[in-house]
Amino acid sequence: MKALMIYGHPHPDMSLGNKTIMETVKAAVPDLDIRQVAELYPDGKFDIKTEQEALAAADTIILQFPVYWYAYPALLKKYIDDVFAHGFAYGSTGTRLKGKTLIVSCTTGAPYDAYAEGKVQGHTMDSYMFPAAQLARLCGMRFGGVLHTGGVMYIPGVSKPEDREPIIKACQAHGKKLASLLK
Protein backbone atom coordinates (compact mmCIF):
# COMPACT_ATOMS: atom_id res chain seq x y z
CA MET A 1 0.00 0.00 0.00
CA LYS A 2 1.31 3.44 -0.94
CA ALA A 3 0.45 6.17 1.55
CA LEU A 4 0.58 9.93 1.12
CA MET A 5 0.40 12.49 3.91
CA ILE A 6 -0.77 15.99 3.08
CA TYR A 7 0.80 17.88 5.98
CA GLY A 8 -1.34 20.97 6.39
CA HIS A 9 0.18 22.75 9.38
CA PRO A 10 0.36 26.41 8.31
CA HIS A 11 3.37 27.10 10.59
CA PRO A 12 5.41 23.88 10.59
CA ASP A 13 8.36 25.58 12.30
CA MET A 14 6.13 26.24 15.33
CA SER A 15 4.59 22.78 15.55
CA LEU A 16 5.28 20.34 18.34
CA GLY A 17 2.28 18.01 18.15
CA ASN A 18 1.77 17.66 14.39
CA LYS A 19 5.51 17.53 13.77
CA THR A 20 5.84 14.72 16.32
CA ILE A 21 3.00 12.80 14.68
CA MET A 22 4.53 13.25 11.23
CA GLU A 23 8.00 12.16 12.38
CA THR A 24 6.61 9.14 14.27
CA VAL A 25 4.64 7.92 11.26
CA LYS A 26 7.59 8.49 8.93
CA ALA A 27 9.88 6.46 11.21
CA ALA A 28 7.40 3.56 11.20
CA VAL A 29 6.49 3.83 7.51
CA PRO A 30 9.70 4.96 5.76
CA ASP A 31 8.18 4.96 2.27
CA LEU A 32 5.43 7.37 3.34
CA ASP A 33 5.30 10.29 0.92
CA ILE A 34 4.84 13.58 2.80
CA ARG A 35 3.76 16.78 1.05
CA GLN A 36 4.35 19.69 3.43
CA VAL A 37 1.96 22.25 1.97
CA ALA A 38 3.25 25.36 3.79
CA GLU A 39 6.87 24.61 2.93
CA LEU A 40 6.19 23.70 -0.71
CA TYR A 41 3.69 26.49 -1.39
CA PRO A 42 3.94 29.31 1.18
CA ASP A 43 2.22 31.62 -1.32
CA GLY A 44 -0.68 29.20 -1.87
CA LYS A 45 0.12 28.81 -5.57
CA PHE A 46 0.07 25.05 -5.94
CA ASP A 47 1.62 22.98 -8.71
CA ILE A 48 -1.73 21.32 -9.28
CA LYS A 49 -0.49 18.72 -11.77
CA THR A 50 2.30 17.57 -9.41
CA GLU A 51 -0.06 17.40 -6.44
CA GLN A 52 -2.72 15.53 -8.41
CA GLU A 53 -0.11 13.02 -9.60
CA ALA A 54 0.95 12.44 -5.97
CA LEU A 55 -2.67 11.90 -4.92
CA ALA A 56 -3.36 9.58 -7.85
CA ALA A 57 -0.29 7.45 -7.04
CA ALA A 58 -1.40 6.83 -3.43
CA ASP A 59 -3.73 4.16 -2.08
CA THR A 60 -4.26 5.99 1.21
CA ILE A 61 -4.30 9.77 1.65
CA ILE A 62 -3.86 11.29 5.12
CA LEU A 63 -4.79 14.88 5.87
CA GLN A 64 -2.57 15.85 8.84
CA PHE A 65 -3.30 19.20 10.48
CA PRO A 66 -4.10 21.19 13.61
CA VAL A 67 -7.78 22.11 13.80
CA TYR A 68 -8.33 25.85 13.38
CA TRP A 69 -11.79 27.14 14.30
CA TYR A 70 -13.34 23.66 13.96
CA ALA A 71 -12.00 23.04 10.45
CA TYR A 72 -8.92 22.68 8.26
CA PRO A 73 -6.39 25.53 8.37
CA ALA A 74 -6.94 27.97 5.48
CA LEU A 75 -3.95 26.85 3.40
CA LEU A 76 -5.03 23.20 3.58
CA LYS A 77 -8.60 24.20 2.65
CA LYS A 78 -7.24 26.10 -0.38
CA TYR A 79 -5.16 23.03 -1.30
CA ILE A 80 -8.30 20.88 -1.25
CA ASP A 81 -10.27 23.49 -3.21
CA ASP A 82 -7.59 23.77 -5.91
CA VAL A 83 -6.17 20.23 -6.14
CA PHE A 84 -9.26 18.06 -5.57
CA ALA A 85 -10.73 19.57 -8.73
CA HIS A 86 -13.75 18.68 -10.84
CA GLY A 87 -12.67 16.38 -13.64
CA PHE A 88 -9.87 14.99 -11.48
CA ALA A 89 -11.34 14.06 -8.11
CA TYR A 90 -15.06 14.11 -8.86
CA GLY A 91 -17.55 14.61 -11.66
CA SER A 92 -18.30 12.37 -14.61
CA THR A 93 -14.62 12.22 -15.61
CA GLY A 94 -13.14 12.79 -12.14
CA THR A 95 -12.35 9.26 -11.07
CA ARG A 96 -8.64 9.46 -10.17
CA LEU A 97 -9.29 9.11 -6.42
CA LYS A 98 -12.00 6.49 -6.65
CA GLY A 99 -11.35 3.50 -4.37
CA LYS A 100 -8.63 5.22 -2.33
CA THR A 101 -8.87 5.73 1.43
CA LEU A 102 -8.94 9.15 3.09
CA ILE A 103 -7.91 9.48 6.74
CA VAL A 104 -8.14 12.65 8.83
CA SER A 105 -5.38 12.93 11.43
CA CYS A 106 -5.76 16.06 13.49
CA THR A 107 -4.85 17.78 16.73
CA THR A 108 -6.50 20.38 18.92
CA GLY A 109 -5.37 22.64 21.70
CA ALA A 110 -8.54 21.84 23.64
CA PRO A 111 -8.54 18.48 25.42
CA TYR A 112 -9.95 15.44 23.62
CA ASP A 113 -12.79 15.19 26.18
CA ALA A 114 -14.01 18.69 25.27
CA TYR A 115 -15.23 17.33 21.92
CA ALA A 116 -18.46 15.63 22.96
CA GLU A 117 -22.15 16.41 23.13
CA GLY A 118 -22.80 18.52 26.21
CA LYS A 119 -19.13 19.49 26.66
CA VAL A 120 -17.50 22.85 25.95
CA GLN A 121 -17.01 22.21 22.19
CA GLY A 122 -20.55 20.84 21.88
CA HIS A 123 -19.85 18.17 19.25
CA THR A 124 -17.53 15.26 18.53
CA MET A 125 -14.54 15.70 16.25
CA ASP A 126 -16.27 13.32 13.82
CA SER A 127 -19.08 15.89 13.57
CA TYR A 128 -16.65 18.72 12.88
CA MET A 129 -14.86 16.66 10.23
CA PHE A 130 -18.05 15.91 8.28
CA PRO A 131 -16.68 17.91 5.29
CA ALA A 132 -13.79 15.42 4.97
CA ALA A 133 -16.18 12.47 5.10
CA GLN A 134 -18.32 14.11 2.43
CA LEU A 135 -15.22 14.90 0.34
CA ALA A 136 -14.33 11.20 0.42
CA ARG A 137 -17.87 10.20 -0.56
CA LEU A 138 -18.06 12.67 -3.45
CA CYS A 139 -14.70 11.46 -4.77
CA GLY A 140 -15.66 7.77 -4.52
CA MET A 141 -13.15 7.24 -1.72
CA ARG A 142 -13.49 5.20 1.44
CA PHE A 143 -13.46 7.38 4.53
CA GLY A 144 -11.01 5.86 6.99
CA GLY A 145 -12.21 8.03 9.85
CA VAL A 146 -10.82 10.68 12.14
CA LEU A 147 -7.83 10.17 14.41
CA HIS A 148 -7.80 13.05 16.90
CA THR A 149 -5.50 13.95 19.76
CA GLY A 150 -6.44 16.89 21.96
CA GLY A 151 -4.60 18.99 24.49
CA VAL A 152 -1.48 19.46 22.37
CA MET A 153 -1.12 23.23 22.31
CA TYR A 154 2.44 24.16 23.15
CA ILE A 155 3.76 27.68 22.62
CA PRO A 156 7.48 28.13 23.35
CA GLY A 157 8.04 30.90 25.85
CA VAL A 158 4.37 30.83 26.91
CA SER A 159 3.61 27.20 27.77
CA LYS A 160 5.18 25.59 30.81
CA PRO A 161 8.29 23.54 29.90
CA GLU A 162 6.90 20.56 31.85
CA ASP A 163 3.90 20.45 29.47
CA ARG A 164 6.13 19.56 26.52
CA GLU A 165 6.87 15.89 27.35
CA PRO A 166 3.23 14.75 27.82
CA ILE A 167 2.35 16.34 24.47
CA ILE A 168 5.22 14.55 22.75
CA LYS A 169 4.16 11.21 24.27
CA ALA A 170 0.51 11.68 23.28
CA CYS A 171 1.50 12.60 19.73
CA GLN A 172 3.91 9.68 19.45
CA ALA A 173 1.04 7.38 20.46
CA HIS A 174 -1.15 9.07 17.83
CA GLY A 175 1.58 8.61 15.21
CA LYS A 176 2.00 4.93 16.08
CA LYS A 177 -1.74 4.36 15.81
CA LEU A 178 -1.80 6.13 12.45
CA ALA A 179 1.18 4.07 11.24
CA SER A 180 -0.62 0.87 12.24
CA LEU A 181 -3.49 1.86 9.94
CA LEU A 182 -1.02 2.03 7.04
CA LYS A 183 0.48 -1.43 7.46
For residue 116, the domain's CATH number is 3.40.50.360
Half-sphere exposure of 20 (CA within 13 A, CB side): 20
- In what helix (H) or strand (E) does residue 146 lie, and over which residues does it extend? strand 142-149
Q: pTM above 0.85?
A: yes
pLDDT digits (tens, 9 = 90+) for 86-119: 999 999 999 999 999 999 999 999 999 999 999 9
- Sequence letter at residue 38: A
Query: What's the number of domains the chain is made of?
Result: 1
Say if residue 34's pLDDT is above 90: yes
Length of the chain: 183
Give the domain range for residue 161: 3-181
Give the integer Cα–Cα distance in Å for 118 and 138.
Answer: 31
